[in-house]
Amino acid sequence: MSLAISYCRAHNGMEAPLVTIEVHLSSGLPAFSIVGLPEAAVREARERVRSAILNSQYDFPNGRLTVNMAPADLPKQGGQFDLAIALGILAASDQLDAKALKNYEWLAELSLSGDLRKGPGALPAAIACQQAGRVLVCSPDNAVEAALVTEGNVFAAQHLLQVTRMLRESEYQLSRPEPNKSNQPLLRYPDLADVKGQKAARRALEIAAAGRHNLLLFGPPGTGKTLLASRLPSILPPLSEAEAIEIAAVQSVANLPLEWHRRPYRAPHHTASAAALIGGGSNPKPGEVTLAHKGVLFLDEISEFPRQVLDVLREPLESHEVCISRARRQSIFPANFQLVAAMNPTPGGYAADDPRSSRYTKAQIQKYVSRLSGPFLDRIDLHIEVPSLPKEVLMADQQPENSEQVRQRVVTAWQAQISRQGCTNSELKGNALDQHCVLGDAERQLLDKAMDKLGLSARAYHRLLRVARTIADLNQQPQIDRAAIIEALNCRQLERLIG
């Protein structure tokens, strides 16, 4: 009889809790049981591990094998436990030294031939493994991803035989992968120079980028709303190393291709469900708001989304995270995204003053716009009309500003915010908002009149202050002046349709 212990990592949202694999081999009729809340893919590891061991020219022990995955109350899913179970069995049957396993964590699914396969969540596992002071061994595909944790100790193996040789022969070393870091993401972003005309919308896009404000574009079809939204990532400031790691961890958990130092841009269809947007499932998976973390979530034809689907975005827009509760677990996913939405101004799609919209009454237009609830609209800072362009503007040879020119102003404003308050203007709250958005008497009177006339809520008032602060930063003004207040008010143009 023998007992061996190996270590692996499970998935719980963005966390990678430690799983201790205890393998006990005792005499008796041959049996192989896995306990500790294993789900179907984990239970099926019995057949994968058996074939992998035999095809690697090792002996599969005859006797009663019990594999305990602790903690017992943590659900286990996926095939990433295969390698840890196989090594535990080999150690319990004295084909490997059990003491050699204690400084390692193993993360790989096994093929029937013994090859190591890629699985999701390698980057969170690498971060947790580094904090625990152990060495992570995984498949080559996962190792390139896990190596992004620069201080981590990560090794790659192609086959089970390479792992066992490393454990048996001290002079044999597995390969240490190089992280796949490409630092030229801006070359892949669509450029703002493609947008002709639309001076007001371009300015609103610049304000949104400078303060990380949410933006709603409304106008007739074909005026460039989607074109503008897709150019927003190109004028956002570059990611820090910590932000890049956060994005890569989300992509790792979602099993998506890694795009290093590139802000995500997600554009779900209007038929997407609430679970698709915020995440869900019996084993909670990240939704679109998490996949857009530190990037842009674009909702085209937002008025076609069901109202109850849009309203699930209200909490993530405020808290910047999503908490999904199930009977057995609670998973928390980050959701610090920038929302850009687009819609038509009337049911027919054309502007309200267009002759083709004359068949719609004001009440019908208001009913159409009211598909977006008031609390949801309160969370959008900028409402900008994108009108149809005259043919002279479309056919003009004048070259608009490109993304790099606009981005320089955005970065300057962004740096002013970080040095002044340690966060962007959209994140100002409570006392920090009062401290950094001080108004003079004339500016306060102007804003009071606007609140009474437009019937703005307290949340909308605070968002107006944040937008005005961003405009002042773009204009390199130390205080919010009257011009910044007026421009911030002009960036709430949807009230013309609602009021």
Q: What is the mean pLDDT of residues 14-31?
A: 93
- The type of residue at 215 is L
pLDDT of 181 > 70? The answer is no
- Residue 217 and residue 161 in one domain: no
Average model confidence (pLDDT) across the chain: 89
- Residue 142 and residue 269 in one domain: no
- Residue 204 and residue 103 in one domain: no
Q: Which of 135, 168, 201 is the last residue of a domain?
A: 168
With a pLDDT cut of 70, the percent of the chain lying above it is 95
Please report which confidence band the pLDDT of residue 151 belongs to, taking 50, 70 and 90 as the band edges: low
Whether 132 maps to a domain, the answer reads: yes
CB neighbour class for 247 (10 Å; exposed up to 12, middle 13-18, buried from 19): buried
Give the C-alpha separation, 87 to 330, whole Å.
Answer: 31
Give the C-alpha separation, 379 to 11, whole Å.
Answer: 32
A 10 A CB-CB count for 450 gives 17
Cβ atoms 270, 301 nearer than 8 A: yes
What are φ and ψ of residue 116, in 5° steps? Answer: -90, 130
- Residue 24 and residue 120 in one domain: yes
pLDDT of 212 > 60? The answer is yes
Q: Tell me, what's the pLDDT at 185? A: 47
Give the C-alpha separation, 453 to 171, whole Å.
Answer: 78
Please report which confidence band the pLDDT of residue 497 belongs to, taking 50, 70 and 90 as the band edges: low
- Residue 7 and residue 113 in one domain: yes
Whether 208 maps to a domain, the answer reads: yes
Whether 255 maps to a domain, the answer reads: yes
Please write down the HEC assignment for all residues of the chain: CEEEEEEEECCECCECCEEEEEEEEECCCCEEEEECCECHHHHCHHHHHHHHHHHCCCCCCCCEEEEEEECCCCCECCCCCHHHHHHHHHHHCCCCCHHHHCCEEEECEECCCCEEECCCCHHHHHHHHHHHCCEEEECHHHHHHHCCCCCCCEEECCEHHHHHHHHHCCCCCCECCCCCCCCCHHHHCCCHHHCCCCHHHHHHHHHHHHHCCCEEEECCCCCCHHHHHHHHHHHCCCCCHHHHHHHHHHHHHCCCCCCCCCCCEECCCCCCCHHHHHEECCCCEECHHHHCCCCEEEECCHHHCCHHHHHCCHHHHHHCEEEEECCCCEEEEECCCEEEEEECCCCCCCCCCCHHHCCCCHHHHHHHHCCCCHHHHHCCCEEEECCCCCHHHHCCCCCCCCHHHHHHHHHHHHHHHHHHHCCCHHHCCHHHHHHHCCCCHHHHHHHHHHHHHHCCCHHHHHHHHHHHHHHHHHCCCCCCCHHHHHHHHHCECCHHHHC
Whether 430 maps to a domain, the answer reads: no
- Residues in Cβ contact with 133 at an 8 Å cutoff, skipping those fewer than 6 apart: none
Q: Tell me, what's the pLDDT at 180? A: 66
Whether 123 maps to a domain, the answer reads: yes
Give the C-alpha separation, 162 to 8, whole Å.
Answer: 18
Q: Tell me, what's the pLDDT at 372? A: 85
CATH of the domain at 305: 3.40.50.300
- Residue 32 and residue 111 in one domain: yes
Whether 323 maps to a domain, the answer reads: yes
- Residue 86 and residue 224 in one domain: no
pLDDT of 179 > 50? The answer is yes
Cβ atoms 218, 388 nearer than 8 A: no
- Residue 247 and residue 373 in one domain: yes
CATH of the domain at 121: 3.30.230.10
- Residue 153 and residue 291 in one domain: no
Cβ atoms 126, 133 nearer than 8 A: no
- Residue 85 and residue 145 in one domain: yes
pLDDT of 184 > 60? The answer is no
Whether 447 maps to a domain, the answer reads: no
Whether 38 maps to a domain, the answer reads: yes
Quote the tokens at residue 135: 């060495």
Give the C-alpha separation, 378 to 317, whole Å.
Answer: 11
- Residue 255 and residue 371 in one domain: yes
- Residue 196 and residue 150 in one domain: no
Q: Which of 134, 168, 202 is the last residue of a domain?
A: 168
- Residues in Cβ contact with 346 at an 8 Å cutoff, skipping those fewer than 6 apart: 352, 354, 357, 360, 365, 368
Q: Averaging pLDDT over each range in 122-131, 279-288, 365-374, 454-463, which range is the top one?
A: 122-131
Closest among 309, 306, 320 to 214, alpha carbons compared: 320
Dihedral in degrees, nearest 10, Cα atoms 34, 35, 40, 46: 0
Q: Tell me, what's the pLDDT at 186? A: 44
| Range with the poorest average pLDDT among 84-88, 141-145, 182-186, 389-393 | 182-186
Domain count, the chain: 2
Alpha carbon distances (Å) from 117 to 48, 160, 483: 12, 11, 59
Closest among 471, 387, 394, 480 to 204, alpha carbons compared: 471
With a pLDDT cut of 90, the percent of the chain lying above it is 56
Cβ atoms 88, 23 nearer than 8 A: yes
- Residues in Cβ contact with 13 at an 8 Å cutoff, skipping those fewer than 6 apart: 253, 284, 324, 331, 332, 333
Q: Domain of residue 137: give its range.
A: 2-168
Q: What is the mean pLDDT of residues 443-465?
A: 84
Give the C-alpha separation, 5 to 134, whole Å.
Answer: 14
Alpha carbon distances (Å) from 460 to 4, 205, 311, 375, 499: 61, 19, 17, 10, 15
Q: Tell me, what's the pLDDT at 68? A: 97
Q: What is the mean pLDDT of residues 180-186?
A: 53
pLDDT of 415 > 90? The answer is yes
Give the C-alpha separation, 183 to 185, whole Å.
Answer: 6
Q: Which of 168, 202, 237 is the last residue of a domain?
A: 168
Q: What is the pLDDT of residues 236-279, one digit of tens each?
A: 999 998 899 999 999 999 988 888 888 999 999 999 999 999 99
Q: What is the pLDDT of residues 64-85, one digit of tens each?
A: 999 999 999 888 989 999 999 9
